[in-house]
Amino acid sequence: MLVEISPERHGVAFDIAYARADNVTGKPIYARPAAWLVPEAEAALVRAAELAGAQGLGLLLFDAFRPLEAQWALWRAVPDPAYVSDPRRGGIHTRGVAVDLTLTGRDGAPLDMGTGFDDLTPASHHGSTAVPPGAQRNRALLLGLMSAAGWDFYMREWWHYQLFRPRRYPALTDGEAGTAMMPAEPHFP
């Protein structure tokens, strides 16, 4: 059901945030840096990478499919439904239909978006004027590329994009998805 995304095959770079300790939980959530998507989202990601490449830009992927166990870990760290989906409702990333990403320049360095990934403040909202004009333009460029590639967006996070009608796909645990992303210790409550 899910397709593993790779930098080589899909034309994107990886910086999988939840495989490192420097994320909102303060510890690695994933056992390894990996990204998985449903085939429809995979095709939209490839299209977005092609559109970015045509402008001399690249995509840097922070997250994609997030097993329900990982969603619980995030919810325990940030139980704020404005920024983290309540895992009892399944979430969007848990369905393999969402990506968190940014644009990179010709040198591979991320473009300035005014805030970092997972900066859970109003400054991270699309359309925020609290960030410099150059960052606003970069966000608008990312939004345009992702929209043209078939993605919907989440108003409070400049980095989050998802398929339209995401709940038509089921929320999955690591075991159900067969992704082997989670450590042996479960993260369920």
Which residues have a catalytic role annotated? 157
User: What strands lie across the sheet with 152-153, from one edge to the other?
Assistant: 13-14, 58-63, 98-104, 160-162, 152-153
Would you list the DSSP string of 79-147? --TTTS--GGG--SGGGT-EEEEEEE-TTSPBPP-SS-TT--SGGGSTT-SSS-HHHHHHHHHHHHHHH
DSSP structural state of residue 170: P
8-state DSSP, 160: E
Closest Cα to residue 127, out of 154, 109, 102, 147? Answer: 154
CA–CA dist 102, 110 (Å, integer): 7
